[in-house]
Amino acid sequence: MLEVGELIFREDGTIETTTTSTSTGSPLSDGALIDAYSDHLLLERHLSGHTADAYRADLTSLAIFLARGRIGLLDVSYPILRRWLAHLRTREYARSTVARKTASVRGFYSWAARRGMIEASPAALLAHRAGGSRLPAVLKPLEAGALAEAPAEDSIGLRDRAVLELLYGCGLRVSELSGLDVEDVDPEGGRVRVLGKGGKERMVPMGEPAREAVKRYLREARQAMSPGPGVAGTSRGRTLFFNRRGKRMTPRDVRAMLDGYVRLTLGARNVSPHTLRHSFATHLLEGGADIRVVQELLGHSNLSTTQRYTHVSKGRLFDSYRQSHPRA
């Protein structure tokens, strides 16, 4: 029997429910189902913790909605899911948010069907809604350069310079950067080994600024930032970038560090680590790089994911025309 009803959120982040019987025959509560699916995303699909947390939050919001009607996750039907989507729209969620939540739910029910928990996915007929045509924000080359050159010459600054150069100069995802070990970077050979989504490995070239920044960090700053032998939760000999507590830099650490330099150099701009990745791809295409080369450098499985950067480049062309031509 599946226990459903009100959700109980525990301090460790797990979710339990009150006991109300349903007919699914599954011994798992809604919270346990979400935990199991999260484990699947992390351990079998090798998605990042950040992505798995986003899926968990989306499924939790669905479970809360269903619990009001004393319905369990595995007892849901297609019409109920349609009502849930209508509820999201009345809450005025952005189209992109609704599209992401829909994809999360569709993935969960496909997983449950494959494991025999349900006969068929009730989410299979949900429309694949586009998340809108908003183009990714990018920096101008001079802005990206000023941001990368903003750090000071102390140990923290040398680390930050290397981080920024790798984000912009190599187009790394923030999760890929925070997972780097010393042996993954070869500044002499000008390359970095990256473990991307789905455990897919790729080699990315490092430009001269990134090579020099990484070499200086390794030579002059990493030892000073690495933890002492008694610090728990670290792998001193392997970790590339440490935070101020002597532990591996997390994506949150990187975002907080970037925010400080953005305020210093660009003011009240909304710039994230992914903005630097967008800028990397856009500047390559504007410089004449082949789109399939950019696809490989970014680690995209599908060319369609990379093609959106061609729209950014076209947008820049039209902006330049409007700003420069007297008859525009």
Which residues have a catalytic role annotated? 173, 197, 274, 277, 300, 309
- If residue 22 lies in a helix (H) or strand (E), which one and from where to where? none
Shortest CA distance to 160 belongs to which of 229, 234, 237, 259?
A: 259
- DSSP per-residue string spanning 213-247: HHHHIIIIIHHHHSPPTT-TT--TTTBS-B-TTSS
- Using an 8 Å Cβ cutoff, are 222 and 161 in contact? no
- If residue 145 lies in a helix (H) or strand (E), which one and from where to where? helix 141-148
Q: Which one-letter amino acid corresponds to residue 207?
A: G
Judging by DSSP bridges, how do beta strands 191-195 and 185-186 pair with one another?
Answer: antiparallel
Q: Which one-letter amino acid corresponds to residue 1?
A: M
- How far is it, in rounded angstroms, from Cα 9 to Cα 69? 18
What are the tokens at 38? Answer: 């999260």
**How many residues are listed for the chain in this entry?**
328
- DSSP per-residue string spanning 99-121: HHHHHHHHHHHHHHHHTTSSSS-
What are the tokens at 36? Answer: 């199991």
- Using an 8 Å Cβ cutoff, are 48 and 175 in contact? yes
22-56 per-residue burial string, b: 16 or more CB within 10 A, e: under 16: bebebebbbbbbbbebbebbbeeeebbeeebebbb
